[in-house]
Amino acid sequence: MKKLTHTKGRRHPESYPIKIKDPFLEDFTRILHCKSYRRLADKTQVISLPRNVYTRTRLTHTGEVLAIATTISEHLNLNTSLCQAISAAHDIGHTPYGHLGEEMLTKILNKPFNHPIGSVVVAQHLEKDHGKGLNLTFETLQGILHHSRTNSIDLHTDPNLPNEYSAVMFADKIAYTFSDLNDAMRYKFLNPQDLPDFITSLGQNQDQRTYKVLQALIQESKLKQRVEFKDSPIYQNFKKTRTFLYKKVYKAIDHSIKKVILEKAYEFLSTEPKFKHATPEAAFLMLTDKQVDILGRAINEKGKCTMQDIKGFGFSDSIAILKNKNIDITNPDLDWADERESKEIK
């Protein structure tokens, strides 16, 4: 199976006194240290602002994706450090309240916004001093962009893209499918007796289901000599499980109050004088669920929100990064690598 062994490098030249030899492992460490990675702890996976400490957040979901992608990579002899870097950053551009925030931005911008592009934008333009970015390798950025390729239940792979990108895509789907199912039962959206045979046939708990699907994916990929998962009966049951979740869980959650809060938070970012030189949609990406909730409560109680209400948000950093920068959060901005040749990693 083909393993990625070359890179087009980083957007900007740099000089560090200490640097990891493996460029993708260097990317991985930069992501783990960045602010957008830490913000994932307060961003929705399925349940917003959970009281139960065992409920997944975007950060714990990211850890599960990282673990599953590492397992796939090691069994298929792929570039594990690249899989880990993509996994760690795949959701750093997620909006507060998960996909609900994506839908709101799409409506406001009058053009599609999705979090894979948002994550690339954050990594390149909304991190580090004055928004210089993490300066990740092109391959890590492109892998982030392609970790979620379709809104369809069917999982399509692209033979023209590295296997590592597909490994992370499948890891993401496996991680959230079975953890979301777990959390749905924790919050009584589902009961164990509600689970159909196509789910219980995969196992009686999250670990059993995850490993059974992983085993089938790895076997099929080895047979085809590329990362693939679409032909086995286990895949069909996995696909049915995802459809079941969309119908019984995701559509069952009441988002009406959250929609109002999100709209009020965006209105504040758009009208607050201190943000007049900033792109409000880019500032919105930096908000967490908890911060949006604080904004919403302030507006509900006083009819408005002030800078005093967001004291301690860390937004002074955001203002500095965004000032006088016209950031298009729907453009991944990866054209800089078009004319570059890939060089072997040594």
Whether residue 131 lies inside any domain: the answer is yes
Contacts of 112 (CB under 8 A, 6+ apart): 106, 330
173 and 239 both lie in a single domain = yes
pLDDT tens digits, residue range 159-181? 999 999 999 999 999 999 999 99
Which residues constitute the domain of residue 28? Answer: 21-254
C-alpha span between 227 and 155 (Å, rounded): 12
Count of the separate structural domains present in the chain: 2
* 275 and 131 within one domain: no
- Whether residues 60 and 120 fall in one domain: yes
Domain end residue (candidates: 227, 254, 281): 254
Q: How many CB atoms lie within 10 A of CB 270?
A: 16
- On whether the CB atoms of residues 167 and 68 are closer than 8 A, the answer is no
Based on the fold, state whether residues 70 and 110 are members of the same structural domain: yes
- Rounded Cα distance, 201 and 220, in Å: 19
Q: Distances from the Cα of 243 to the Cαs of 52, 116, 240, in angstroms?
A: 26, 22, 5
Q: What is the pLDDT along the chain (346 residues), one digit of tens a residue?
A: 899 999 999 999 887 766 788 999 999 999 999 999 999 999 988 877 777 777 889 999 999 999 999 999 999 999 999 999 999 999 999 999 988 999 999 999 999 999 999 999 999 999 886 677 999 999 999 999 999 876 667 788 899 999 999 999 999 999 999 999 998 888 888 888 889 999 999 999 999 999 999 999 999 999 999 999 999 999 999 999 999 999 988 887 878 888 888 998 898 888 888 777 788 899 899 899 988 988 888 888 888 888 888 877 777 676 777 777 788 999 999 999 998 888 888 7
CA distance readout (Å), 166 to 162, 265, 314: 7, 35, 35
Q: What single DSSP character describes residue 98? A: T
Neighbours of 248 (CB within 10 A): 16
Q: Are residues 61 and 154 in the same domain?
A: yes
Separation between Cα atoms, residue 154 and residue 245, nearest integer Å: 14
Domain co-membership, 132 together with 154? yes
Q: Is residue 63 part of a domain?
A: yes
Q: Among 198, 220, 254, where does a domain finish?
A: 254
